[in-house]
Structure 1
Amino acid sequence: MNPEYGINKRQVSKAFNRAAARYDQVAVLQRMVGEQLLERLELVKLSPAVVVDVGAGTGLQTIDLLRRYGKAQVMALDLAPEMLHEARRRVKGRALERVLEAVWPRRHCHFVCGDTECLPFANQSVDLIFSNLTLQWCSALDSVFTEFRRILKPGGLLTFTTLGPDTLKELRAAWSSADAYRHVNPFVDMHDIGDGLVRAGLAEPVMDVEHYTFTYPDVYGLMRDLKLLGAQTVGSGRQAGLMGKNRRQKMMQSYEAFREGGRLPASFEVVYGHAWGVEQTLQQRTADGAIQIPLHALKGRSKPIGNRS
């Protein structure tokens, strides 16, 4: 998936390390989407013993997972050490600790610096994988989903969000009029993501999409927020070195074509998905490499979360 676009993990880690201290100031979408993903967990009966928050960032949702699953071991995993530092401060800060100490002891939360495409967890050791707006920073979703299948227990749940191809479509179009470089990361289509879940052998994948629009008085506001979030172009096709003032000005002029009501829109397409872990011994590969799962292995599932569009 996205074979022509290689994510540079070192650049990703550096960008989010720089952004960590001020990330929460502008992480409005991340907070909104994370809350909705948590609400969807109310539709499924699950009492996990081990939860992994993949791409935990500053711990925005780690806190809620700890509250929701008070007896679970919660692993906050992130590629950027400074993000984990902020998450640790959030979770174990003195004021918050007094509130939560009666609900969960300190030993129930662990902070792990690691790569989503090579998870440091044992096979079939996790009951719930929760990942909010992280997968768009991975090079190969097939590798990610294979790792998720590997660590999920049979009957364990994967629930996630990621960004779809309409994200920042206005900014992408404005830059395309200025030069031929890639200034906005490409994002994978919902149906391709669903196909990747199937290829990995995860059961009963369900996908849906929601669209969000934020508005700004000018392009500078949008660019500032993206920089503070660490959301920079980190793959092949981006420009190396300094950018000319003329091209930036041309991009800004092109963006003005989208102005409505005195504001400039910035669109975000958010893909929601979930799937289930199965016994790996039940999986059978066909001649073309696809994975088949016997029907009896899928029976008795809880109510689906959302609908496939």
Structure 2
Amino acid sequence: MSEAFFTDKARVRAAFERAATSYDGAAVLQREVAARMAERLDYIKVAPKVILDAGSGTGEGAAELRRRYPDARVIELDLAQAMLLASRGKQQQAAGLVSRLFGRDKPWQVCADIERLPLADASVDMIWSNLAIQWVNIPDSAFAEFRRVLKPEGMVLFSTLGPDTLQELRHAFSGLDGLTHVNRFIDMHDLGDAMLSGGLSEPVMDMEKIVLTYAAARDVMRDLKAIGAHNATAGRGRGLMGKRAWQQVEAAYETWRREGRLPATYEVVYGHAWRGQDKKSNRLPDGRQVIDFVKKG
């Protein structure tokens, strides 16, 4: 991926901070993908004691994980503090009384970047990450962090977006200027390589396309803004787009209209992998190699 398409983490954080109050009303795709991820857990026999929801948003995934694994401790981690506060508010409302949010029912939340997890080595049994890895520029680093905090035989299950995501919007902006207007996403096969590079084992990947439809191009942009999915690329424009330019984009998007609706395609990539058992080292702490000599009868 070229540097022009690298995401600006500060902009990503600010966008999600602002979107916390509008997120749930527009996060149709996120809820659907989370439901499909949860179905996959029906076929994976695990009994985790500690689960990390990496990129937890407003807590929908964490709620499902608590329901599915009632004896587990679920840690919500997100880049935006406002998202974590929104999740906490929903948990307090569901509890009925704030006093019930002490002890084991008190939510565990961490505001941090998934590329730099503030968690101890080998402290988590399972990592769940729904539509968050697409905001990472170098996924190898995120997967390496996942492996570091996973216990041996721990599992990571994630979803992210592939390169055909928002292809209609990208086409509508093409030729407008030399700037980037739509985030670019990493290919499924490259993600598989990144998992191996990050030290995870037995990666399994698959992909499907989900198409949402809208009445107008402005509705697509409005939903993206509501969930905090702004253009966060380094090569984006820094000013507002003019009326004539927007009319050009709308006209180009109209060529995709079918049966009275405009499509917005999302290429959803799913993956899971494991942290295997650590191999026994034959080196001393100072790096010297230990060689065993076996005396034969």
Q: Distance in 2 between matches of 1:146 and 1:108?
A: 29
The question of whether the paired residues in 1 share the 8 Å contact of 2:4 and 2:233 is answered with no
Question: Structure 2 vs 1, CA of residues 7 and 156 (structure 1 numbering), >3 Å: closer, same or farther?
Answer: same
Question: Structure 2 vs 1, CA of residues 178 and 4 (structure 1 numbering), >3 Å: closer, same or farther?
Answer: closer
In the alignment, which of 271, 274, 284 is matched to residue 273 of structure 1? 271
Which SS does the other structure have where 2:279 is aligned?
Answer: helix
Matched, 1:73 2:73: yes
Q: Distance in 1 between matches of 2:150 and 2:281?
A: 14
Matched, 1:133 2:125: no
- 1:118 Cα offset (Å): 0.2
2:61 maps to a residue whose letter is Q
In the alignment, which of 213, 216, 231 is matched to residue 233 of structure 1? 231
Residues 148-187 of structure 1 show CA distances to partners (whole Å, capped at 9, x for unaligned) of 0101111111000000000000000000032221111000
Q: Distance in 2 between matches of 1:153 and 1:214?
A: 38
- Which residues in structure 2 correspond to 1:24-63 (within 5 Å)? 24-63=24-63
- Which residues in structure 2 correspond to 1:158-237 (within 5 Å)? 158-237=156-235
Question: Which has the greater radius of gyration?
Answer: 2
- 1:214 Cα offset (Å): 0.8
2:227 maps to a residue whose letter is L
- 1:107 Cα offset (Å): 4.0
1:127 maps to a residue whose letter is D
Q: Distance in 2 between matches of 1:193 and 1:161?
A: 11
In the alignment, which of 90, 95, 98 is matched to residue 97 of structure 1? 95
Question: Structure 2 vs 1, CA of residues 5 and 254 (structure 1 numbering), >3 Å: closer, same or farther?
Answer: closer
Which SS does the other structure have where 2:5 is aligned?
Answer: coil
Deviates more, 1:175-184 or 1:54-63: 175-184
Q: Distance in 2 between matches of 1:71 and 1:190?
A: 33
1:189 maps to a residue whose letter is D
Q: Distance in 1 between matches of 2:281 and 2:241?
A: 50
Residues 196-250 of structure 1 show CA distances to partners (whole Å, capped at 9, x for unaligned) of 1111121100000010111111111111101111101112111111212111110
Deviates more, 1:272-281 or 1:104-113: 104-113
Partner of 1:10: 10
Question: Structure 2 vs 1, CA of residues 107 and 281 (structure 1 numbering), >3 Å: closer, same or farther?
Answer: farther
Deviates more, 1:83-92 or 1:71-80: 83-92
Residues 79-129 of structure 1 show CA distances to partners (whole Å, capped at 9, x for unaligned) of 000000001112222xx2259x99x96446301101100001111111000
The question of whether the paired residues in 2 share the 8 Å contact of 1:190 and 1:271 is answered with yes
Partner of 2:22: 22
- 1:42 Cα offset (Å): 1.1
TM-score, normalised by the number of residues in structure 1: 0.86
| Structure 2 residue ranges without an equivalent (≥5) | 283-297
Q: Name the % identity.
A: 47
- 1:139 Cα offset (Å): 1.8
Q: CA RMSD in A?
A: 2.0
TM-score, normalised by the number of residues in structure 2: 0.90
Which SS does the other structure have where 2:125 is aligned?
Answer: strand
- Which residues in structure 2 correspond to 1:111-150 (within 5 Å)? 111-150=109-148
Partner of 2:295: none
Which SS does the other structure have where 2:88 is aligned?
Answer: helix
In the alignment, which of 251, 257, 260 is matched to residue 258 of structure 2? 260
Which SS does the other structure have where 1:47 is aligned?
Answer: coil
Q: Distance in 2 between matches of 1:5 and 1:178?
A: 17
Q: Distance in 1 between matches of 2:170 and 2:206?
A: 23
| Structure 1 residue ranges without an equivalent (≥5) | 285-309
Q: Distance in 2 between matches of 1:168 and 1:133?
A: 14
- 1:41 Cα offset (Å): 0.7
Q: Distance in 2 between matches of 1:165 and 1:223?
A: 18
- 1:39 Cα offset (Å): 1.1
Question: Structure 2 vs 1, CA of residues 192 and 266 (structure 1 numbering), >3 Å: closer, same or farther?
Answer: same
- Which residues in structure 2 correspond to 1:272-291 (within 5 Å)? 272-281=270-279
Q: Distance in 2 between matches of 1:105 and 1:2?
A: 47
* Over 6 Å off, 4+ runs: none
